[in-house]
């Protein structure tokens, strides 16, 4: 059956293709002010708007970043910012061949009636904000829903409320000509095992696609940003790299329709090396067998080692950029299934 799409839908599909092209991935640099300040505090960096701006300048001016990164997710504060010399970050990204995106959720609050569970907010006024971001040059957006595993949770009420919001957000994005990244994150925190993470994530993704269908979201014009299937951080038995890769791909194959063009993982607090090794193992094992592109959309797993080098000092900028590029590049190698641990030791070109 021939399906004819509107110009708007064709533009969305073109954007998704560019975001998933080759062996590239996405860079999440959309930490809210609170999260960014928390990471700065841990690294001994002053928590001011100028330090945040300087850090984001360092990222967007990293030489050759566009060879590894196809899209960068910005935060509201960052999208208006510029370098010391007055060049808008959003323009620098475009010049580097990196598509600018924007986080549009407004964080989480306690879900009324469901102790220990959260709901993501930000749907009110979203169409107006999306129109403004589109005019500024953003071509994709991100919304993160958070699901916690603990005794008796997640509940059906929490999963349904969050996946419904994700689907409403996705529909609004597509109407605004913006590709939605839908991010249902099952958190790693907890003592649960791999199987529990698998069962929970599978359920969450089933409800998500049910809601996306109900809200008439075009699956060909979105990107799924899921967690990997891992043992909880405090679980006494940690699944190895191959098990994580197998469980993750099996879960996705059970729940993600083939119409979805791309899956881009969050790193969720795994070490940078593990996040790269897991992506690599998936490609080694399932090369040529997957219906969607499978790539990365990491924040911490790309930025953390670089942030620790920077320490807020000008003299460290070059080494920080080298580390950022190194981690991004290693993940592109992982997307080809060609990564090995010894590549960690030398900077790759």
Question: Using CA atoms, how far apart are residues 60 and 50, in angstroms rounded to an integer?
Answer: 15
If one asks whether residue 330 binds ligand 13P (CB under 6 A), the answer comes out as no
68: nearest Cα among 346, 337, 327: 327
233: nearest Cα among 183, 186, 303: 186
Please report, for residues 192, 246, 260, 281, 296, the alpha-carbon distance to residue 249 in angstroms, rounded to integers and kept in the order given. 19, 5, 14, 10, 14
Could you tell me which stretch among 57-65, 74-82, 295-303, 339-347 binds ligand 13P (CB under 6 A)? 295-303
For residues 265 and 296, the answer to whether their CB atoms sit within 8 Å is: yes
If one asks whether residue 299 binds ligand 13P (CB under 6 A), the answer comes out as yes
Q: Which of residues 230-289 bind ligand 13P (CB under 6 A)?
A: 266-268
- Please, what is the minimum distance in Å from the beta carbon of residue 252 to ligand 13P? 17
- Please, what is the minimum distance in Å from the beta carbon of residue 318 to ligand 13P? 24
If one asks whether residue 300 binds ligand 13P (CB under 6 A), the answer comes out as yes
Question: Using CA atoms, how far apart are residues 349 and 346, in angstroms rounded to an integer?
Answer: 10
11 has catalytic annotation: no
- Please, what is the minimum distance in Å from the beta carbon of residue 206 to ligand 13P? 21
For residues 98 and 65, the answer to whether their CB atoms sit within 8 Å is: yes
Question: Site mask, ligand 13P, residues 7-36, x = CB under 6 A?
Answer: ---------------------x--------
Question: Using CA atoms, how far apart are residues 298 and 18, in angstroms rounded to an integer?
Answer: 18
Residue 171 or 187: the one with the smaller Cβ distance to ligand 13P is 187
287 has catalytic annotation: no
For residues 54 and 311, the answer to whether their CB atoms sit within 8 Å is: no
Which residue in the list 117, 183, 185, 202 is annotated as catalytic?
183
201: left (phi over 0), alpha (psi -120 to 50) or beta: alpha
- Please, what is the minimum distance in Å from the beta carbon of residue 211 to ligand 13P? 19
Neighbours of 159 (CB within 10 A): 23
Question: Site mask, ligand 13P, residues 185-204, x = CB under 6 A?
Answer: --------------------
Among 301, 328, 330, 333, binds ligand 13P (CB under 6 A): 301
What string of DSSP letters covers 2-41? Answer: -----HHHHHHHHHHHHHT-TT-EEEE----HHHHHHHHH
Question: Using CA atoms, how far apart are residues 279 and 6, in angstroms rounded to an integer?
Answer: 34
The number of residues that bind ligand 13P (CB under 6 A) is 10
If one asks whether residue 146 binds ligand 13P (CB under 6 A), the answer comes out as no
Residue 99 or 301: the one with the smaller Cβ distance to ligand 13P is 301
Residue 291 or 305: the one with the smaller Cβ distance to ligand 13P is 305
If one asks whether residue 138 binds ligand 13P (CB under 6 A), the answer comes out as no
Active-site residues: which are they? 183, 225
Question: Which parts of this chain interact with ligand 13P (CB under 6 A)?
Answer: 28, 144, 183, 266-268, 298-301
């Amino acid at each position: 059956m021939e399906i004819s799409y509107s110009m708007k839908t064709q533009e969305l599909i073109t954007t998704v293709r560019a975001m998933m092209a080759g062996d590239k991935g996405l860079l999440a640099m959309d930490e809210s002010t609170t999260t960014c300040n928390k990471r700065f505090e841990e690294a001994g960096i002053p928590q001011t708007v100028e330090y945040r701006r300087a850090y984001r300048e360092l990222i967007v001016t990293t030489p050759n970043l566009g060879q590894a990164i196809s899209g960068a997710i910005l935060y509201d504060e960052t999208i208006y910012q510029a370098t010391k010399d007055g060049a808008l970050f959003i323009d620098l990204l475009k010049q580097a061949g990196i598509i600018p995106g924007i986080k549009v959720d407004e964080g989480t609050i306690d879900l009324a009636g469901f102790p220990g569970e959260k709901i993501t907010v930000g749907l009110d006024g979203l169409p107006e904000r999306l129109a403004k971001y589109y005019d500024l040059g953003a071509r994709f957006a991100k919304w993160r829903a958070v699901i916690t595993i603990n005794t008796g949770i997640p509940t059906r009420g929490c999963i349904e409320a969050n996946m419904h919001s994700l689907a409403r957000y996705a529909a609004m994005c597509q109407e605004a000509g913006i590709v939605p990244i839908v991010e249902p994150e099952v958190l790693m925190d907890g003592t649960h095992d791999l199987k529990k993470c698998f069962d929970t994530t599978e359920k969450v993704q089933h409800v998500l696609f049910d809601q996306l269908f109900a809200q008439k979201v075009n699956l060909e014009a979105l990107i799924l940003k899921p967690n990997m299937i891992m043992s909880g951080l405090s679980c006494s038995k940690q699944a190895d790299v191959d098990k994580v890769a197998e469980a993750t791909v099996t879960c996705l194959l059970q729940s993600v329709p083939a119409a979805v063009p791309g899956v881009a993982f969050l790193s969720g607090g795994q070490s940078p090396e593990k996040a790269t090794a897991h992506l690599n193992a998936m490609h080694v094992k399932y090369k040529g067998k997957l219906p969607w592109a499978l790539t990365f959309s990491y924040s911490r797993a790309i930025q953390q080692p670089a942030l620790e080098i920077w320490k807020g000092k000008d003299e460290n900028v070059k080494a920080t950029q080298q580390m950022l590029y190194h981690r991004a590049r290693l993940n592109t190698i992982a997307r080809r299934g060609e990564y090995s641990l010894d590549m960690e030791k030398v900077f790759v070109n």
